[in-house]
Amino acid sequence: MKKRAFGPVGAAAVLVVFAVGAFAWNADFEPSTYNPDVGESITLAVCEPCLESGSYQYTWDFDGDGTADLETAEPVVEHVFETSGFHATQVTLKDADGRRKTKRKGILVGEQPAYAVRETIEESNGTVFVLITVKANKAVSAPGIEESMPRGWQFEVVDDGGALIGRPNSDTRTYEQCWGDELAAGDELSLSYRLHPTSSSSTASLSGPLSGRSEGQRFVAEICGELEVSS
């Protein structure tokens, strides 16, 4: 398997330790896979180290339609997605004092030649480090992304992962990047960037597609993982 690792990833791992300790508690979760098959049972686990001691109520909206699908006191649940496509899965945590916090992550259901996962880390100075990892399920040529550049934030490329083309598009407020690589099944490649807020308190959505060619056909798939940033 061809996999590229970059220096900022190691630095990011250290920052996670500080981010957890900097807040009383945070809502976060991780699916066992970001690209399950239709009908496949997956595990969604809330980040218990992100929580304080005590009890919590977990409310899940698996398909992102704004309606609660499951309420439970358990931090780990199993779920089966019955329809293909991009699902903005959300969990809302409520503690014993009635305080609530929410986290949304994108999950791409159904067979795809490749998919991409976006991870974010809030840094101590208010900036946000973003890592996007592309994972190939089949042979893929000319993979590329078109990542949004949220308003109210300055955009800085950290590592383009050896991209053939990488440029910001100020008209569409996107960062367009394309690799010349041909990926085999199991290969991965990554890019990273940093967002700088222009105000002390700011929240913005993240979105963008991964595209490429596989078996003679072009495919487009929304990037999974984190869907918003805040400072």
For residue 36, the domain's CATH number is 2.60.40.10
Q: Token pair for residue 46?
A: 């809330």
Do 101 and 146 lie in one domain? The reply is no
pLDDT at 2: 55
Other C-beta atoms closer than 10 Å to the C-beta of 48 total 10
Report the b/e string of 122-148 with b at 16+ CB within 10 A. bbeeebbbbbbbbbbbbbbebbbbbbb
pLDDT digits (tens, 9 = 90+) for 126-157: 899 999 999 999 999 999 999 999 988 999 99
In angstroms, rounded to a whole number, what is the distance separating the alpha carbons of residues 76 and 59?
12
Do 103 and 132 lie in one domain? The reply is no
Tell which of 81, 108, 135 closes a domain.
Answer: 108
Do 75 and 160 lie in one domain? The reply is no
One digit per residue, the tens of pLDDT, for the chain of length 231 reads 555 544 343 434 333 433 434 447 788 999 999 999 999 999 999 998 888 888 899 999 999 999 999 999 999 999 999 999 999 999 999 998 899 999 999 999 999 999 999 999 999 888 999 999 999 999 999 999 999 999 889 999 999 999 998 888 888 899 999 999 899 999 999 999 999 998 777 788 999 999 999 999 999 999 999 999 887
Domain count within the chain: 2
State which residues form the domain around 104: 19-108
Do 98 and 123 lie in one domain? The reply is no
Tell which of 77, 108, 139 closes a domain.
Answer: 108
In angstroms, rounded to a whole number, what is the distance separating the alpha carbons of residues 123 and 145?
24
Cβ-based neighbours of 65, under 8 Å, separated by 6 or more = none
pLDDT at 1: 54
Tell which of 108, 128, 143 closes a domain.
Answer: 108
* Predicted model pTM: 0.87
Distances (CA, A) of 32 to 14, 45, 135: 22, 8, 15
pLDDT digits (tens, 9 = 90+) for 201-215: 778 899 999 999 999
